[in-house]
Amino acid sequence: MVFGGGSFQLARVFGIRIGIDFSWFVVLFLIIWDLSGYYEDAAPGSNAFVLAVLSALLFFLSILLHELGHALVAIRNGIPILGIDLWMFGGVAKLGRDADSPGVEFKVAVAGPLVTVAIAVFCFALGSLASGMSDAFQSSTFDESVGEATTAVLGYLTFINVLLLGFNLIPAFPLDGGRIARAIAWKVTGDRNRATRFAAWLGRAGGYAMVAFGAYLWLVQDRVAAGLWIAFIGFFLASAARSAAAQAAFSGRIEHIRVADVMDADPVAVDENAPLSEAEHSFFLRYGWPWFPVVDTRGRLVGVVSREAVESVPAHERDTRAVGTVMARDDGSSGLRVRLEEPLENLLSQEGLARLGAIMAVDGEGVLRGIVTIDAVRRALQAPA
């Protein structure tokens, strides 16, 4: 899934920040409360609350693995990941930029559902080994007459992952199914923004259909809780799709602008082998800037050095310590660099631009060619089309 908001960090997996939104705890409580009653009937004699907590946590682990599927495929295709957030509607892998081809878009979009399929098959297979295929199938339909705790938990995980798969494959942007539809439309039309508008239209249609179905459950079937929940998700989906359509229109207006068009082509950089005393006097005291890019002997960007980092070293050591020993190293995925030929749109979600107020522009070999400041980006966005 592709929603999400602010969160606090829980851990890092493969270097990817894993965050949890506070709304996640509300849903966790509701799932545990609902499953406690289910396990009292499905696995009598067991500790229903413990089973409910275990199932809820394993469900969110399934969502995390789903999002890691998106993230790892994105990283493999050169797309940086800003992090993964778990929240009330599941999870979101935050991409540092959009895919640069429909093929990459398709691979990233389909990776999560493939992970979910694998989890569902794995849980069903374990349930079959534990109690036989017929009992495993019965438990995976959320049947309350299972009678055995392990089978009940595995059956729930099978059921919920199949449900998650079905929901995510709805062809409504920004769900995974909508992103798959966008990739296909992009391949057919050759126009990413046009494909995004098409996928966003599907998203709005799907969202409004969910609102209508939720109203039906509430008003006709008298299933108030289920109806309100589905309608709420539908409304949120339609809102996200409208935002995506607006973003596509905006992207179309600035798609002709590249990084090279807005950068300062005369960047001031520090050599990584220069002593800290030189960086202090020739750069920080001379220019008064809080940080500088750092390059190697071939001019390739290797990191960023800040005034605080230099001043943290005792004064008597600054003549013998090199800048490279205190800089924040850039490995190409830290959000500090952008390629010259990339569209301006890709800068808007770059972490480095927000954190430092600027981002470094490099060529295909990683050589520093310019610096793009947030003011330069702002001027380009405000310029008439």
Select the more confidently predicted residue: 321 or 4: 321
The class that CATH gives domain 259-382 is alpha beta
| 6: pLDDT strictly greater than 70 | no
pLDDT on residue 36: 87
For residue 245, name the pLDDT band (cuts at 50, 70, 90): confident
The 10s digit of each residue's pLDDT in 26-84 is 888 888 988 888 788 777 777 889 989 999 999 999 999 999 999 999 999 988 887 88
For residue 277, name the pLDDT band (cuts at 50, 70, 90): very high
Q: CB neighbours of 78 closer than 8 A, spacing ≥ 6?
A: none
pLDDT on residue 139: 58
Select the more confidently predicted residue: 380 or 360: 360
Residue 119, both tokens: 């989890």
| 300: pLDDT strictly greater than 90 | yes
pLDDT on residue 137: 59
pLDDT on residue 162: 92
Residue 240 CA to residue 79 CA, distance in Å, equals 22
Type of residue numbered 35: L
Mean pLDDT throughout 308-333? 89
Mean pLDDT throughout 265-272? 92
pLDDT on residue 349: 63
Q: Which percentage of the chain shows pLDDT scores above 90? A: 32
Mean pLDDT throughout 218-234? 83
What DSSP designation does 297 have?
A: T
pTM: 0.67
The 10s digit of each residue's pLDDT in 69-118 is 999 999 999 888 878 888 777 788 888 777 889 999 999 999 999 999 99
What DSSP designation does 330 have?
A: -
Q: Which percentage of the chain shows pLDDT scores above 70? A: 87
Strand partners, 271: 295
pLDDT on residue 110: 95
Select the more confidently predicted residue: 88 or 371: 371
Indicate if the alpha-carbon torsion angle 7, 169, 343, 337 is positive or negative. positive
Sheet containing 8-13, strands listed edge to edge, beginning at the edge strand earlier in sequence: 8-13, 16-20, 81-87, 90-95
Query: Would you list the domain boundaries of the chain?
Result: 1-169, 185-254, 259-382
The 10s digit of each residue's pLDDT in 129-177 is 877 666 555 555 555 555 577 888 888 899 889 988 988 888 888 789 8
**What are the angstrom distances between the C-alpha of 89 and each of 3, 8, 20, 218, 321?**
8, 17, 12, 20, 50
pLDDT on residue 4: 44
pLDDT on residue 302: 92
Is 275 in contact with 319 (CB distance < 8 Å)?
yes
Residue 148 CA to residue 129 CA, distance in Å, equals 13
For residue 3, name the pLDDT band (cuts at 50, 70, 90): very low
Mean pLDDT of the residues in the chain? 84
The backbone torsions φ and ψ at residue 244, rounded to the nearest 5 degrees and listed phi first, read -65, -40
